[in-house]
Amino acid sequence: MFLFIATIFIAELIIATTIILLIVRADKTVVKCTELVMKKHAELEKILKDFSYCVKSFGEYYDCMINSIKRKHRQFQLNLLKNVAMYLSLFLLKGKYKKAAAFLQFAVLFHDYIQKVRSN
């Protein structure tokens, strides 16, 4: 009976010792990692600030691009509307009012020329 209890006690001591050694090893590893992080803290902080600045700059650039695309879209719609109105008026006026149609064709050409000059 005493031999059985002594064997179980020794087994418990071996298990406890193994667990304690693993805890000590893990503690040493955590201490090494903490020291490494403390050494690299300033460097990591600078990298994170730079990354934050990059994200903020990208956000601003993205907003500018979206606004630019919206502005170009509105300009395109306005130009399309103007051209449709001019050519529609040419189509409607071409039959009876040939002098007015010629004037409107000249107006369209002049308008296109002005648009090209503004874009350059």
What confidence category does residue 97 fall into, taking pLDDT thresholds of 50, 70 and 90?
low
Q: What is the predicted pLDDT for the residue at 70?
A: 92
Q: Which of 42, 99, 38 is nearest to 107 (CA)?
A: 99
What confidence category does residue 99 fall into, taking pLDDT thresholds of 50, 70 and 90?
low
Q: Where are the alpha helices (DSSP H) in 1-97?
A: 2-93
Tell me, rounded to whole angstroms, the distance of Cα 51 from its chain centroid: 13
Tokens for 7, please give them: 């064997």
Contact at 8 Å (CB) between 101 and 90? Answer: yes
Q: What is the predicted pLDDT for the residue at 65?
A: 93
What percent of the chain lies above the pLDDT cut of 70? 89
Q: What is the predicted pLDDT for the residue at 116?
A: 76
What are the residues whose beta carbons fall under 8 Å from the beta carbon of 37, sequence distance 6 or more? 44
Tokens 């193994």 found at: 18
What confidence category does residue 30 fall into, taking pLDDT thresholds of 50, 70 and 90?
very high
Q: Which of 94, 120, 96, 95 is nearest to 108 (CA)?
A: 94
More confident position, 98 or 66: 66
What are the extents of the domains in the chain? 2-119
**CA–CA distance, 120 with 116 (Å, rounded to integer):** 6
- pTM value surpassing 0.85: no
